[in-house]
Amino acid sequence: MKMKDVPIYNYFNGNTLLIENIVNDFSNYIYTVIRNSNLKVSDEDIEELISDVVFTIWKNQGKLDINRKITPYIASITNNLVKKKYRDTKVFDNIEDYENNLIEESNIELQFIENERNKGIMKQLDKLKKEDKTIFILYYFNEKSVNDIANELNMTESKVKSKLFRTRKKLKKYLKEKEGV
């Protein structure tokens, strides 16, 4: 029986997935699938992707149809992870996009102004009541929902919304005075 014809149940011992056997038998296969994706992937990315494929198989071992062949399953996971990695990597469609990005990133004056503005905002936040500052940081920096913040701080959602509104109003006033906006 060829390796590609092997059913998944051959990689189980009872209810235990023999992950080391999968790594030994299919690392080269995963490598080939990644290389055949026609995307420029570094050797470090390939190693990471192989680990991610194995981890995904291990994490989903309870969902596997053990009677299916293992290679299509591995190929599918590998292709999905390669596509995800490609989507997550910022790719410029043309040289103008790349040049515009360089110009934006190299504008030191704008970065300095932004840093100063952020320092001023942080100073204003330090002047707030601890609870108001905590709510603001949880919402804007930790990206927690109003509901999560209300539960975490043991208060109503309307109280959280009200405190966020007042804090934004104070910060807006500060920015208006500071920048003449």
For 21-48, write each residue's pLDDT tens digit.
888 988 888 888 888 877 777 778 888 8
At the topology level, CATH places domain 3-88 in Rna Polymerase Sigma Factor; Chain: A (1.10.1740)
**Candidate from 31-45, 111-125, 151-165, 166-180 with smallest mean pLDDT:** 111-125
pLDDT at residue number 11: 86
Interval 54-80: pLDDT, tens: 888 888 888 878 888 888 888 888 888
Long-range contacts of 35-43 (CB under 8 A, 24+ apart): 37/79, 37/82, 39/82, 39/86, 41/82, 41/85
pLDDT at residue number 99: 46
- Chain centre distance of CA 9: 33
CB atoms within 10 A of CB 177: 9
pLDDT at residue number 17: 82
Domain boundaries, the chain: 3-88, 103-179
Of 2-6, 11-15, 61-65, give the range with the top mean pLDDT. 11-15
pLDDT at residue number 155: 93
The class of domain 103-179 in CATH terms is mainly alpha
Is residue 144 scored above 90 in pLDDT?
no
Is residue 108 scored above 80 in pLDDT?
no
Percent of the chain with pLDDT over 70: 78
